[in-house]
Amino acid sequence: MTSMDSARWMASAMGPEVERPDKWDAAELRAILAHQLAAAIRADLLNISPELARRYDQSGGAAEQTFQQLFTRPDPAVAALLVVKDFSKLAIAEKDGSLPEEIGAVLYYAAIACAILRCGGERISELDDATLKIGLTWATAQAWLDLSLRGLFQELVDQLK
């Protein structure tokens, strides 16, 4: 799958008009997201791809750094955000993976939003502004979304106007 195909899939899979059976209710997704944000990035990378763990190590990412810590840093490493974005895409692609698609999508958008907002406008995705805005709007509409991520996503949506 090319990067552009992947971007289109992400936008269509997470779009508000998509109808698919819910596997998780809002309370479960809130709990899963909270658990994921508190998880050490490197350990999760190792579970899905030793190559991603190697890239994360090369980015200077600390072994104990959590997803929440990375997403709330004022100066996150672009290379670490890129690894998290790639991890999220892999997690979403796994049919019976350990992460619900919705959680993978939120991590995906968080990495992209952090790069743009906190790394001088750095683009780590080929998503155009309109497609990115669709995904961010979907994410901010989720009742289970973490408040810090909701603020991050809304900040970027406002900037993309």
- Backbone φ, ψ for residue 84 (5° rounding): -65, -40
DSSP code of residue 156: H
What are the tens digits of pLDDT across the range 50-87?
Answer: 999 999 999 999 999 999 999 999 999 999 999 999 99
3 within domain boundaries: no
pLDDT given at position 97: 74
Considering Cα of 137, then 142, then 143, then 148, what sign does the dihedral take? negative
What are the tens digits of pLDDT across the range 113-132?
Answer: 999 999 999 999 999 999 99
Provide the domain count of the chain: 1
Which residue range is the domain that position 135 belongs to?
Answer: 26-160
Considering Cα of 14, then 48, then 29, then 73, what sign does the dihedral take? negative
What tokens appear for 8 in the block? 């289109």
pTM (predicted TM-score): 0.86
What's the rounded Cα separation, in Å, for the pair 108 and 86? 8
